[in-house]
Each structure stands twice: as C-alpha cells, then as structure tokens.
Amino acid sequence: MRAPFRSTTPLARTLTPNPSPVGEGHEDARPIDPLRLQGDGQAMQTHYNTLAGEEVGRIAALSDGIFAIAATILVLDFHTPEAADIHSEAELLRALAASAPRLLPWLLSSLTLGIFWLGQQTQLNQLVRSNRDLAWLHFLFLAVVTVLPFSTRLLADFLTYRTAFLIYWVNIVVLGAGLYITWAYAEGAKLIREEAHGEISRAVKRRVILAQSLYAIGALAGLVNVTLGIILIILIQLNYAIGPRLPILSRL
C-alpha cells in the first residue's frame, strides 16, 4: 500500500507573496488600484466631488483676472471726441467737459472693484483649503463682478434716473451678500485657519454688514437726488479705501 503524497514545500513558503518585479529592496512599481478597500473588504471608490475645488490659489488667480478685466472694461467706456468735430482748443475743452459726468460712475465703480477685490482676497488668505461648494460660491461672486461694467454704463448713460442708480446699488448689495455667504460657509465647513475663528471672523462679518448698511443710506439719499446718492457712496468707499485712523471712521 502506497504512502499518501506529502508536499516537501514548507507551508510558510507557499503563503509567501510573489516578489516585486523590480527586485528586492525596491517598492512595488505596479499601479495603485483606484478602488480602495473598506474594513469589510469591499471596494470603495473615491468620489470626484471630494477632490474638486481644493486649491485656494486657483480661486485667487481667477479673481485677479476677472477683477482686472472688469476694471479694463470700465476704462473702455471712455471715448475721445471726434477729430472732425474739433477745430480749436476751446472746442476740445467743451467736448471733454461734456463727457466729464461719466467720470463719476467710473470713480464709483473703480472704488467698488478695489474694495470687493480686497474683501475676497482677505477671505482667501484665511483659508486652509477649499472645497467644491466653496469654489462655486466664489465663482458666483465673481460672476456678479462681471455685471458691474454693465450697471456702471447704465448709470453713466442715465445719470439722473433713479432706476439706473438703484440697479447699480443692487449690484453692490449682491456683491456684499456674496462675500458674507462665502465666509459664513467657509467658517461652518471648517475651511478657515484655527486662529481665524472668533474675533477675526466677527470682524469680517461686521465689515460687510456695516458697509452694506451705509450703502443703503446712500441709496435712500439717491431716491431724493441721484447725484447726492452717488457722492455719498463714493465718500463711504473712500473711507474704506483710505482707512483713516480716526476714532469714529476707523470702526466702520
């Protein structure tokens, strides 16, 4: 009677995995499987939305480009007098004086762009990272920025009309709401730096609320007289742009 067959290969050797194809002492060069294993051994696929929009620098770069283009479009709204209509220095001066009222909306919008660009950059500097939802919120904010040249030209063409002035004011309101929403979301999603919680966060929200309240006062003044409303909003913006260290103004 023949004895049963017994393998001469040790059990440990049969369980040893195949060596790496690149040789001993080197990491396995095989591509990593995009499917990860959960604790129960089932495959778990990485969701695309968890990867999108994480780079804060890309949001800042897009912001710089859009604000720069919007500022350029504002300047393109200026036109030199027709050379065929100018025959003397006096006629040139009269033609330039006729277009001077368009300087008021241009100054207003230039300050608006500068203030909101700085406001967005301040928020981005406080972020640890971004995510897909926050990236879209900032994109929507920038979409509203692209409307500013239109509302500016409308105001310049109809400088004495309350409707044009109120449309411009609504543009400012939506920009302010956009900044508040992006910050509130970033704080709630824990995307801001740890030290940005508390007083820094309150300062960001307080600035938006106070500024919009002052702009609302300017809008009410514009219902009485559009030029008065524009001048008042420009003075408010100059306060934020210059940042005077006066006891009252510095708190706004």
- The predicted structure's pLDDT at residue 77: 82
Residue 181 structure tokens: 């929403």
Classified as helix, coil or strand, 45 is strand
- Spatial CA neighbour of 164 closest among 174, 173, 172, 154: 154
Q: How far is it, in rounded angstroms, from Cα 24 to Cα 35?
A: 26
Residue 221 is assigned to a structural domain of this protein: yes
Q: Would strands 35-37 and 43-45 be described as parallel, antiparallel, or unpaired?
A: antiparallel
Residue 159 is assigned to a structural domain of this protein: yes
Residue 75 is assigned to a structural domain of this protein: yes
- Spatial CA neighbour of 178 closest among 240, 99, 116: 116
- The predicted structure's pLDDT at residue 53: 64
Domain of residue 197, residue span? 55-251
Residue 149 is assigned to a structural domain of this protein: yes
Tokens 């309101």 appear where?
A: 173
Residue 16 is assigned to a structural domain of this protein: no
Q: How far is it, in rounded angstroms, from Cα 220 to Cα 237?
A: 16
Residue 26 is assigned to a structural domain of this protein: no
Residue 50 is assigned to a structural domain of this protein: no
Residue 79 is assigned to a structural domain of this protein: yes
| 215 vs 51 pLDDT, higher one | 215
| Model pTM score | 0.76
Count of domains in the chain?
A: 1
Kindly report, residue by residue over 119-168, the tens digit of the pLDDT: 999 999 999 999 999 999 999 999 999 999 999 999 999 999 999 999 99
| 167 vs 252 pLDDT, higher one | 167
